[in-house]
Structure 1
Amino acid sequence: MPTEKTDTVVVGGGQAGLAMSEHLGKQGVDHIVLERHRIAERWRSERWDSLVANGPAWHDRFPGMKFEDIDPEAFAPKERIADYFVEYAKRIDAPIRTGVEVKRVSRIEGDQRFRVETSEDVIDARNVVAATGPFQKPAIPDVVPADAGLVQMHSTAYRNPGQLPEGAVLVVGCGSSGAQIADELARAGRDVYLSTGPHDRPPRAYRGRDFCWWLGVLGKWERTAPSPETEHVTIAVSGANGGETVDFRRMAARGVTLLGRTEGYDNGTLTFADDLQRNVANGDANYLAVLREADAYAERMGLDLPEEPEAHEIGPDPECLRNPILSLDIEKAGITSIIWATGFTLDYGWLEVDTFDERGRPVHERGISREPGVYFLGLPWQSRRGSAFIWGVWHDAKFIADQIVIQRAYSDYHEEAVKDARTPQVAE
C-alpha cells in the first residue's frame, strides 16, 4: 500500500487537536488529526463521575460555539464537554481519524518530511503537531509500597465514593482534583485526610463576577510563561455544587483533616512535612491579593459592582491547622485507601526528534520546537497562563497554524528557486 502524504499530522483529538484543526483548515493547510481513542476521551474515561468544568460555560469554550443548552454561568458536566468537542469537530469538518494510535514519528533521512507510523498505516508529513496536552502519564510518587495493604489509585482512576472500600481515605494533592475529590468524599460521610502542598486559591466569584472574568480583566490569563526553572503552582478551584470557593478551613469544619506534604512511609506509618500552615497561609495570601486587585480595578474603572467586605474575612484555624499532624499510623487512623491527585508527567516516547531536555520536557518557544517542522500545543504556560485551558489553547493553535503557513512559504520559495536554477535559460 502506498504511503499517504499530507502537509501536517496533528497527534491528539482533544481540545488542542481540534483547535489546531480549525486553524489549519482556515489557512487551507492539508492535514490529518489522529486520535487513539474517541474525541476528548480523557473527559469521559479518566475523570470522576461528578466532575464539571472549573470555569463557567460562557468562558470554558471555543469562540466559535456556545453551550446552547447550559446556562452561561453554570458549569458543564464532563460528558457534556466531551459531547461539545464531538459537535465542534463536525462543525469544522475536522479530518479526524479515531482509534488510530501513533507509534513512532521520525524524520526521513536527508528530507524535510517525517515518517508517521500508526497502528493502521504510514503517513508522510511535512509537519507534526504534538497536541496530546499536559495530562499524559499519571504521576504517583514512590512513597507507599504496593504491598502496604491499601487500595491506591491515581485521581484518573477515581470515579465515586462507592468505588472505595470502607474506611478513611487519604487524598494526596490539594489542586482542583484533590480538593474536589476530598470534598466529595467528606460530603459522602467518609473520614478524609487531605495532604496539601503549595497552591493558589482564587475566589470562585467576587462582587458578582466569576474569577475567570476577574483574571481576564486583570490581565492574569495573559501573564507570560515563567522560566523553565519556575515551579508550577497548582490552582485550587472548583465548579462543583454550583461553584464555590475552595476553602480548606471550611473543609476541615466538615471533618476533613488537613496535613502537610506527604513525605514518607515506614512500617505502617505515614510522615508529613511541617509545611501545612505555610501552604494554607500562602493560599490565603493569594486569595486576598486577588480580592484587593479586583477592588482597585473596580474603583479605577468606575464599575457599579456590589461590595463584598465579608469575602475578605478569613475564618478561624481548625485544630488540624493549629497543631499539624506530622506522622500518622494508618491502621489507627482507619485509612484503607489513598488517592494520588499528584498530577502527570509528559510522555513523548513516540516522537523521535531532538527537541527534549534531560527530563524529557519539550524544548520550544511558544510551541515551536528546535526541530524544524515539529510543534507542541496544549502545554501549561506554553505562551501564557491560559494556554492549557480550552479557550487559551484555541489562541495558541492560531499562532502555530500561522507559523506553519509562514514556513511553508519559505519552503515553497526554495523549491521554486531550485526549479528556476535547473531550467535552462533561452537566449533572446
Structure 2
Amino acid sequence: MKEKREHTRLHYEAIVVGGGQAGLSVSYYLQKHGIDHMIFEKNRVGHSWRHDRWDSFCLVTPNWQCQLPDFPYQGDDPQGFMLKHEIVEYVEAFAKKVNPPIMVGVSVNRVWRGKNGVLHVVTSSGEFTADHVVVATGGYDIPIVPDYAHSLPPRIHQVHSVNYRNPDQLPEGEVLVVGSGQSGVQIMEDLHLAGRKVHLAVGSAPRSPRIYRGRETTEWLYDLGFYQLTIDRHPLGDEAKHKTNHYLTGRSGGHEIDLRKFALEGVKLYGSMANIHGTQLEFRPDLTKNLDEADEVYVNIRNDIDRYIADNNIDAPVEPPFRKVWEPEFDPTGIDADQENITSIVWAIGFRPDYRWIQLPVFDGRGYPQFDRGITPEAGLYFIGLPWLHTWGSGRFLGIADDAQYLAGIIEGKLAAKTMA
C-alpha cells in the first residue's frame, strides 16, 4: 500500500475518515465505481488492533467469518481464532490489496457544511471539501471510567481495558475486574490463568455457547439467519445498537465462559459496580439476577439450535440439559479493598463515542448518530463499521463488505444524478 502523505487537491467526490477495515472496505468499492476519494487516518492502518488490545487478545468469532471484500481468510485454520498479531497482518494484507488513496498521521478535527452545501473537512493537514463524507472511525473513542473512581486512594492501581496488556503490568495483590462483557471476562480469565486472585463485578452481559451439539455455535447461528437479521426486524429495534455482545472466548481454540465455574475455581463474584468511597467498594444486589439472565440467553440459543435441528431433520449429537454448577449464597453489596488485598482495578465497562468534531445535526440525546443503513438525514454524510448499522454482522469482519458495497453504490448513484442534473 502506498501511503499518500502529500496532497495537491482540496476537493474530492468522497472523503473517508478512518483507515481501518471499514474505511478500507469503502475505499475498495469506491475505486470499483471510479469515485475520486481520499482516506484520512490519524494513526496507521491496524493501529487499534496493534495498540489497543491486550497481549493474549484473539478473535471471539472463528476465522471463517473474516470476509473483507474479495479477501476472505487465507489461512489453514478457518475454525480457529486469530491472535492479535494475525489480525494486524490480515488487515495490513487487505490494505495492500486495496492500495487506497490514504493520508496517514492526519487527524480530522471538524466536519461542517458550507453555505454552498459542500461538506468541509478540517484536518491536521489542511482543509478539504467533499460531496460525500463516510465516517469509519468506530464508536470506541472515550474509555468509560465512572466519576466515583476518583475516590480510590492512589495506592490502588487503576487501568482501563484499552490499556491493559498482561498480568505482569499490575502490582502484586488481588485484582478487581469491573464489567463482564467480552473484554471483562477475557481479562478476568487472563489474570486467573496467570495465577492471580481475581474479583469480578458482573454486569448484565449475556453469554453464548461455544460448541453445541457437535458444531460451532456461530455456524448454527449463521445457518439460522441471525447474522443476516436486520435492525428493522429486531424485536428491540434501535435499542439493539446499545446492547452488550454475548461473552465467550476464542482463547486456546475457543470455549464458552461460565462465570459459575470460575466461582468454583476461586474467582469472587459480585453484582454490578455501584459506588466507591475510599477503599469501600459498593455493588448492586444483582449478582444472582445477572447470572440467571446470562444463562437464560445461553439456554435460549441452545433451544433455537435444537428447534432448527429438529425442523430440518439434522443428525446431531444430543447434549444434556444445562444445569447451574454454582449459586451465590447471597448477593454481596460491599467489600473493603484493603481487607481483600485488592491492589488493582481493571475497568472493562466499555467506551462512548466522541463525534463532537462532526458539526452536523445527526445525533440523538446519547450522542449516537442517527442513520438508516449508514445513511444519515444530512445529505452526503454516512457511517460504517458500527454494531447494527444494518445487521448483527455490521460491526464485524463478516458484515462490513455488504455495508461498504451498499454505501459506495449509494454514493455512486448520487454523483451520477448530480452529473445528469
TM-score (normalised: structure 1): 0.91
The match for 2:248 is: 237
Instruction: Identify the match of residue 138 of structure 1 among 124, 139, 143.
Output: 143
What is the alpha-carbon distance in structure 1 between the residues aligned to residue 139 and residue 270 of structure 2? Answer: 27
2:386 aligned with 1:379, yes or no?
yes
Which stretches in structure 2 are left out of the alignment for 5+ residues? 1-6
Q: Residue 120 of structure 2: SS of its match in structure 1?
A: strand
What is the alpha-carbon distance in structure 2 between the residues aligned to residue 78 and residue 395 of structure 1? Answer: 24
Cα drift, residue 63 of structure 1: 5.0
What is the alpha-carbon distance in structure 2 between the residues aligned to residue 322 and residue 407 of structure 1? Answer: 62
What is the alpha-carbon distance in structure 2 between the residues aligned to residue 259 and residue 77 of structure 1? Answer: 30
Residues 59 and 212, structure 1, Cα contact 8 Å, conserved in 2: no
1:266-304 per-residue CA deviation (whole Å, 9 max, x = no partner) reads 232111111111111111111111111112212222223
What is the alpha-carbon distance in structure 2 between the residues aligned to residue 86 and residue 229 of structure 1? Answer: 33
The match for 2:369 is: 362
Residues 25 and 69, structure 2, Cα contact 8 Å, conserved in 1: no
1:190-221 per-residue CA deviation (whole Å, 9 max, x = no partner) reads 11111111122111121232222122111222
Cα drift, residue 157 of structure 1: 0.2
2:279 aligned with 1:275, yes or no?
no
What is the alpha-carbon distance in structure 2 between the residues aligned to residue 324 and residue 60 of structure 1? Answer: 40
Cα drift, residue 239 of structure 1: 0.5
The match for 1:227 is: 237
The match for 1:394 is: 401
Decide which moves more: 344-353 or 2-11. 2-11
What is the alpha-carbon distance in structure 1 between the residues aligned to residue 289 and residue 243 of structure 2? Answer: 17
Q: Residue 124 of structure 1: SS of its match in structure 2?
A: strand
Residues 202 and 236, structure 1, Cα contact 8 Å, conserved in 2: yes
What is the alpha-carbon distance in structure 2 between the residues aligned to residue 190 and residue 29 of structure 1? Answer: 53
Letter in 2 for 1:84: Y
Residues 197 and 261, structure 1, Cα contact 8 Å, conserved in 2: yes
2:170 aligned with 1:159, yes or no?
no
Decide which moves more: 23-32 or 185-194. 23-32
1:343-397 per-residue CA deviation (whole Å, 9 max, x = no partner) reads 1101112211121123321121111111100001111111122211111122111
1:208-249 per-residue CA deviation (whole Å, 9 max, x = no partner) reads 322221221112222332434455133212101210001111
Decide which moves more: 218-227 or 282-291. 218-227
Residues 180 and 201, structure 2, Cα contact 8 Å, conserved in 1: yes
What is the alpha-carbon distance in structure 2 between the residues aligned to residue 80 and residue 233 of structure 1? Answer: 25
Cα drift, residue 70 of structure 1: 4.2
Decide which moves more: 389-398 or 169-178. 389-398
2:302 aligned with 1:291, yes or no?
yes
Residues 271 and 327, structure 1, Cα contact 8 Å, conserved in 2: yes
Instruction: Identify the match of residue 179 of structure 2 among 162, 170, 173.
Output: 173
The match for 1:341 is: 348
Q: Residue 369 of structure 2: SS of its match in structure 1?
A: coil
2:246 aligned with 1:246, yes or no?
no
Instruction: Identify the match of residue 329 of structure 2 among 311, 322, 331.
Output: 322
Q: Percent identity?
A: 37
Cα distance change on mapping 1:228 and 1:67 into 2, 3 Å: closer
Cα distance change on mapping 1:70 and 1:53 into 2, 3 Å: farther
Q: Residue 333 of structure 1: SS of its match in structure 2?
A: coil
Residues 3 and 124, structure 1, Cα contact 8 Å, conserved in 2: no
Cα drift, residue 329 of structure 1: 0.5
The match for 1:10 is: 16
What is the alpha-carbon distance in structure 2 between the residues aligned to residue 66 and residue 222 of structure 1? Answer: 18
Instruction: Identify the match of residue 128 of structure 1 among 133, 136, 155.
Output: 133
The match for 1:263 is: 274
Residues 375 and 382, structure 2, Cα contact 8 Å, conserved in 1: yes
The match for 2:3 is: none
Instruction: Identify the match of residue 194 of structure 1 among 192, 200, 209.
Output: 200
RMSD of equivalent CA atoms? 1.7
Q: Residue 364 of structure 1: SS of its match in structure 2?
A: coil
Cα drift, residue 2 of structure 1: 6.3
What is the alpha-carbon distance in structure 1 between the residues aligned to residue 186 and residue 66 of structure 2? Answer: 18
Structure with the greater alpha carbon radius of gyration: 1
Residues 4 and 122, structure 1, Cα contact 8 Å, conserved in 2: yes
Q: Residue 199 of structure 1: SS of its match in structure 2?
A: coil
Which stretches in structure 1 are left out of the alignment for 5+ residues? 415-428
What is the alpha-carbon distance in structure 2 between the residues aligned to residue 36 and residue 380 of structure 1? Answer: 22
What is the alpha-carbon distance in structure 2 between the residues aligned to residue 63 and residue 403 of structure 1? Answer: 17
Cα drift, residue 143 of structure 1: 2.4
Residues 151 and 276, structure 2, Cα contact 8 Å, conserved in 1: no
